[in-house]
Amino acid sequence: MTSGLSNERLKRIDAFLQNKYIDTGKLSGAVMLVAKHGEIAHLSALGNMDVERGKPTEKDSIYRIFSMSKPITSVALMTLYEEGLFQLNDPVSKYLPEWANARVWVSGESPDFQTTPAKRQMTIRDLLSHQSGLTYGFGEDHPVDLAYPPMLPSHQITDSLADWSKSVA
């Protein structure tokens, strides 16, 4: 217990993952790392990284993480929150001024949208709870979604991230 964390209790996490996820087939394998103050307290590899070949997961196995940008960004953001660098009810415009006068779609097709001013500014809390009113841009059932594709990373973007944010705002 050099990290101040109980090795016995950390091993319970392995048992939970093994029993609830790997043994039931919900996951084929997993690598788990727990660190405290930059020191590794626990590192384990469970299950298989290649089920068809029966190849076990290694501690340095690499996994593709599909659609994980939201949780990863949320963890990074909450780290900044813990450091007191922002508040959840801060308006997004405090950090990205182009979002100060956001408008809400009422009707119409791009580029001739009918909009109305938002009743209040979008907050960091809205972004984290997926209540910002922004869409993903890959649905084809709403005019706002159809307006996104030219601005999304799957299309060639030559602007800086700051310019891209301004164009989406």
The residues assigned a catalytic role are: 67
CA distances from 26 to 47, 103, 166 (A): 11, 42, 41
145 vs 161: CA distance, rounded Å: 20
Residue 25's CB: how many other CB atoms inside 10 A? 9
Q: 63: Cβ–Cβ under 8 A, 6 or more apart, which residues?
A: 31, 49
Residue among 37, 35, 42 at smallest CA distance from 13: 42
